[in-house]
């Protein structure tokens, strides 16, 4: 019972390290907690069987994922029309799957450490990084929402290393710090391996901070030297329950046009509307929107488009680039939300349609295509696509000098979701050293510089237009070029060094 309580407490501590808002009540930034929150969990895992390790981590993962993603309840119940019990069950099912994944990966690390005699201090951070990588891609397309690195988004010196290590490398360092501290509390500083572990932790943390300070100064100094583009971000703040009401469509378009005119008056070079901003589904092969013809400034708008499909009409979550109402380019969301935009394994679980009738029949795009305005190539992510490092990375590798995100966080009310979502965009900006601009129906509409700073943002739940000069970088970062190879190579090197010292100690013992 004590171990169960400790797992729950540790899970809650981790969740508090993320931006936390409950029914409009804003908690202070507690990102520093992430460096200590796993200590209780790792403490009870020491000396435990692999089954106990799996159980402790399952409970921990269930608690911290449910606590950080509680707002899914709002989307399912308040706006999706599901009963309270079904909505709570949905949140717990998601958290249970992720908790089970955490339990299996961490239990595997403990077993490998015991059987193969590999130091857990070396092995577990890498296995945790693999766990976070695995939850990015599965099950059902992945859910990387609550990864540890995102707790550090307010600490600019720390997160600059993401242009080297990405989101998984810094997360592994956080796990290593927690593991060293829990082991230190258990065995003290006397053992030789603990002295080495503490020293290596200090070197790594100080190295990351020093690199962060250097890169922050370099990138900040370059901001004024690069070409910029004047961009307007429109936040219409249409209530989710009214968004698809036909009686309110004219009102929604009128509000969008009014805010757009404010941007035109400020001589914006590109005006961006949020995800599915146009209040009606548009024919997929439409070439012109007549009512937007008077707008002379290029427009990037979010819209739902309708296409013929094998089961009747299918929908695509789309981004349309227009010049004076003429559709010049299109892009489509490639990573759909399971049980929100499609039913996974529909042929097997077709009964799900009856339980969740509001699920859309969306079709994913095959790949993201760059768009161009004023000779500046840019890429689009829609909704939670900015959670997935690989999408923004591939867009940047394709030649984008600017990243955009069109989203609608009104689904989640005044909760943690909108602020957590903002942090994902900040990390993507640093990983690829590109400015990221976010246009939200409501949420956090913002301009993020390549160093992760929020240059400008709007207040959520208020209709407004944000206009800003956005710097355009062109050079590819190391992470954009090579992805996650650097932290994987770092692990291999660390494993080799550990093996060398272990063998050396074994030889010395034989001699004596």
Catalytic residue among 162, 243, 275, 394: 275
CB 305 within 8 A of CB 277: no
CB 404 within 8 A of CB 380: yes
CA atoms within 13 Å, Cβ hemisphere of 185: 13
Determine what percent of the chain falls in helix, strand and coil, rounding each to the nearest 5: 50, 15, 30
Catalytic: 275? yes
Q: How is residue 367 annotated by DSSP?
A: S
Catalytic residue among 162, 316, 383, 431: 383
> CA 56 to CA 343: how far, in whole Å?
31
Give which of 324, 403, 307 is closest to 362, Cα–Cα: 307
Give which of 472, 450, 447, 470 is closest to 226, Cα–Cα: 472
Residue 162 neighbours by CB under 8 Å, 6+ apart: 149, 169, 170, 427, 430, 431, 479
Other Cβ atoms closer than 10 A to 227? 13
CB 386 within 8 A of CB 425: yes
Catalytic: 383? yes
Catalytic: 243? no
Catalytic residue among 132, 162, 333, 363: 333
> CA 423 to CA 446: how far, in whole Å?
11
CB 404 within 8 A of CB 436: yes
Give which of 356, 299, 355 is closest to 325, Cα–Cα: 299
Active site residues: 275, 333, 383
């Amino acid at each position: 019972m004590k171990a169960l309580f400790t797992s729950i407490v540790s899970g809650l501590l981790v969740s508090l390290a993320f931006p936390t808002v409950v029914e409009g009540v804003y908690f202070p930034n507690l990102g520093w907690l992430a460096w200590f929150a796993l200590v209780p969990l790792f403490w009870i895992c020491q000396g435990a069987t692999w089954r106990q390790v799996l159980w402790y981590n399952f409970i921990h993962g269930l608690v911290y994922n449910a606590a950080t993603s509680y707002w899914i309840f709002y989307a399912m119940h308040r706006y999706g029309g599901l009963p309270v019990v079904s909505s709570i069950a949905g949140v717990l099912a998601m958290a249970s799957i992720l908790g089970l994944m955490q339990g299996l990966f961490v239990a595997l690390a403990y077993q490998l450490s015991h059987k193969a005699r590999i130091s857990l201090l070396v092995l577990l951070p890498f296995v945790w990084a693999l766990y976070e990588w695995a939850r990015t891609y599965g099950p059902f397309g992945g859910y990387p929402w609550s990864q540890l690195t995102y707790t550090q988004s307010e600490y600019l010196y720390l997160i600059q290393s993401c242009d080297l290590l990405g989101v998984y490398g810094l997360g592994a360092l956080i796990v290593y710090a927690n593991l060293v501290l829990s082991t230190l509390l258990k065995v003290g500083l006397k053992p030789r391996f603990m002295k080495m572990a503490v020293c290596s932790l200090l070197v790594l943390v100080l190295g990351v901070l020093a690199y962060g300070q250097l890169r922050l100064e370099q990138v900040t100094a370059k901001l004024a030297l690069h070409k910029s583009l004047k961009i307007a971000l429109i936040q219409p703040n249409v209530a989710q329950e009214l968004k698809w009401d036909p009686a309110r469509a004219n009102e929604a378009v009128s509000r969008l046009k009014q805010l757009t005119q404010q941007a035109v008056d400020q001589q914006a070079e590109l005006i961006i509307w949020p995800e599915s901003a146009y209040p009606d589904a548009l024919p997929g092969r439409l070439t012109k929107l007549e009512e937007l013809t008077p707008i002379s400034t290029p427009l990037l708008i979010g819209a739902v488009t309708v296409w013929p499909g094998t089961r009747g009409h299918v929908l695509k979550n789309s981004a349309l680039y227009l010049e004076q109402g003429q559709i010049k380019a299109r892009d489509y969301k490639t990573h759909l939300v399971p049980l929100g935009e499609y039913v996974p394994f529909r042929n097997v679980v077709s009964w799900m349609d009856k339980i969740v009738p509001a699920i859309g029949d969306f079709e994913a795009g095959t790949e993201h295509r760059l768009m161009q305005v004023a000779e500046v190539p840019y890429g689009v992510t829609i909704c939670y696509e900015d959670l997935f490092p690989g999408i923004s990375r591939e867009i940047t590798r394709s030649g984008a000098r600017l990243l955009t995100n069109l989203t609608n966080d009104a689904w989640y009310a005044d909760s943690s979701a909108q602020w957590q979502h903002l942090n994902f965009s900040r990390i993507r900006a640093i990983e690829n050293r590109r400015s990221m601009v976010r246009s939200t129906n409501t949420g956090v509409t913002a301009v993020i510089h390549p160093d992760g700073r929020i240059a400008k943002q709007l207040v959520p739940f208020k209709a407004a237009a944000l206009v800003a000069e956005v710097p355009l970088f062109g050079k590819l970062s190391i992470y954009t070029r090579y992805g996650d190879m650097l932290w994987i190579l770092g692990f291999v090197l660390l494993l080799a060094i550990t093996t060398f010292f272990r063998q050396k100690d074994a030889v010395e013992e034989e001699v004596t």
